[in-house]
Chain A
Amino acid sequence: AQALTSGSRRRKDWMKLIYSSNLTPEEVVAGKEEQMEDDEDEDVDNEDFFRIKSVAKREEDEEVDRSKERVNSEELKRLEDEEMLDSLRRLFITGGSTQE
């Protein structure tokens, strides 16, 4: 989650990450790079019809099916800062148009 907020602004190719990678969704969001096709399945050419995802690797945490996104506590800390709060004014109608 830190990678999202920090300045590493290299664009992700979301379509590739979502539709043609074996990373779990959590790994995609965390910005993990995919090991390029060398390791693990040498037998790539067998049908990847069922697209077995690497669920097995995930340890069996009781990660629940929840619809409310967890709020990142670091992110909340960031919003305690007065300057940070002021910088959000641009998103409100009263904020005027700060120089683009």
Chain B
Amino acid sequence: MAQTLIHFSGHHHLRLRLVLSILSGKPLKIDKIRSDDKNPGLRDFEISLLRLLEKVTNGTVIEISVTGTALLLKPGIISGGPITHDCPLSRSVGYFLEPIVLLAPFSKKPFQITLKGITTDDQDLSVDLFRTVTLPHLQPFGISDGLELRIKKRGAPPAGGGEVQFLCPVVKQVKTLNFVEPGKIKRIRGIAHAVRVSPQFSNRMIEASRSILNRYIPDIYLYSDVYKGEESGKSPGYALSLLAESTTSVLYCAEAVSQPGVAPEDIALQATRALLAEIEKGGCVDRQHQTLVLLMMVLGSEDVGRCRMGEPTPRTIQFLRDVRSFFGTSFKIAPADPLDKESSQLLYSCYGTGYINANRTLA
């Protein structure tokens, strides 16, 4: 079957493009990967991601040019099963988990993947938010039973040493989403963790965060997560991850990670304000999960899926363009409240491609 080769240039948006290629089964070619850079070619974490994708699939062919500036991916089927992967210390586990979460529901066998490395950093979502926010986002699409992320060990940068296990069930087809009612915030939850530093830091963060949040609602529970000894990784660090849930189960999240020379109180305030900023933007999906929800909408059954969200981030805009290249699906994007001039919320709708997990039927 001669298939069209999808072609891109540059290292940007690599992860989602790889995911789209594997899901759509269309080969992908990327060239000019940092070709003008002092240090050209793929980075170690990108190579590691390609290795990981090779492990979770069967029959995938990946060719990398000698200089590392060009890449050809011929996707195979998503096979899943028990896998262990050591993530390099240049990126956190979240970097690798994000594409895995998108692929796992469409696997031949359920995923049982163990990832080792840094569990929380300031570039990708921490494992706490993956567990409490990202995974529940899959529920409306019919992916819920047996979906789990276990945080076995924490690992702060730079030395890491953390370990998580991700379990995902296999679905035949995802449901159509119809999520347009943001509701009001009814509860706030948070996880403060501190490893290899005084456990008092967690409490200080919780106290500082409450000084802002207590005025809004009584249902606030900020949990101090204690990991000791071996389980706490190799480097010191702490972070506060917050999430707010609305009456219609919308989840907003934000977090802040320890920085040298910054007091835990300030980290907590940063996280809290970021959460409020996210709440203020409104919509049914926060900014970090736009691409996840939009992808599942594209893959949904052949019906019109709708979702209300804030303005797209740069990452989302590129993702929407890439989706059209791979699946030919474009979204209709219209103001959610045409009468309200102040509102910047948008209604995204698309006709699902009726993607069927063909890998599963082979089993």
Residues on A lying within 8 angstroms of B by beta carbon are 4, 9, 11-12, 14-15, 17-19, 24-26, 28-29, 50-53, 55, 60, 63-69, 71-72, 75-76, 79-80, 85-86, 88-89, 91-95
Binds A, one of B146-154, B223-231, B277-285, B296-304: B277-285
Contact status B216-A66, CB under 8 Å = no
Q: Which of B122, B247, B270 contacts A68 (CB 8 A)?
A: B122
Residues on B with C-beta less than 8 A from A51 are 321, 325
Contact status B217-A94, CB under 8 Å = yes
Residues on A with C-beta less than 8 A from B218 are 94
Q: Which of A11, A50, A68 contacts B124 (CB 8 A)?
A: A68
- The prevalent SS among residues of B at the interface is mixed
Known: A60-B36, A65-B11, A68-B125. Contact between A76 and B277, CB under 8 A?
yes
Q: Which of B12, B32, B314, B333 contacts A29 (CB 8 A)?
A: B314
Q: How far is the CB of B228 from chain A (nearest CB, A)?
A: 27
B residues 1-44 near A (Cβ < 8 Å) are: 7, 9-15, 32, 34, 36-37
Q: Which of B13, B124, B185 contacts A92 (CB 8 A)?
A: B185
Chain A residue with the shortest CB-CB distance to B184: A93
B98 within 8 A of A: yes
The 3 closest A-B pairs by CB, nearest first: A25-B314, A25-B317, A79-B273
Q: How far is the CB of A38 from chain B (nearest CB, A)?
A: 23
Contact status B333-A66, CB under 8 Å = no
Number of A-B residue pairs, CB cutoff 8 Å, is: 128
Contact status B342-A9, CB under 8 Å = yes
Chain A residue with the shortest CB-CB distance to B277: A75
Q: How far is the CB of B237 from chain A (nearest CB, A)?
A: 16
Q: How distant is the Cα of A67 from the Cα of B15 in the complex, in angstroms?
A: 10
Q: How distant is the Cα of A17 from the Cα of B332 in the complex, in angstroms?
A: 12
Contact-residue size bin, chain B (C-beta under 8 Å from the other chain): 35 or more
Q: Which of A25, A53, A79 contacts B277 (CB 8 A)?
A: A79
Q: Which of B125, B216, B279, B315 contacts A25 (CB 8 A)?
A: B315
B residues 221-249 near A (Cβ < 8 Å) are: 247
Residues on B lying within 8 angstroms of A by beta carbon are 7, 9-15, 32, 34, 36-37, 94-95, 98, 122-125, 184-186, 212, 215-218, 247, 254-255, 270, 273-274, 276-277, 279-280, 282, 287-288, 311-318, 320-321, 324-325, 330-333, 335, 341-342, 344, 346
Residues on A with C-beta less than 8 A from B279 are 88, 91
Q: How distant is the Cα of A71 from the Cα of B272 in the complex, in angstroms?
A: 11
Residues on A with C-beta less than 8 A from B341 are 9
Contact status A14-B124, CB under 8 Å = no
Residues on A with C-beta less than 8 A from B254 are 71
Residue among A14, A15, A28, A76 having the largest count of chain B Cβ atoms under 10 Å: A14
Chain A residue with the shortest CB-CB distance to B15: A65
Known: A19-B321, A66-B124, A67-B98. Contact between A29 and B313, CB under 8 A?
yes
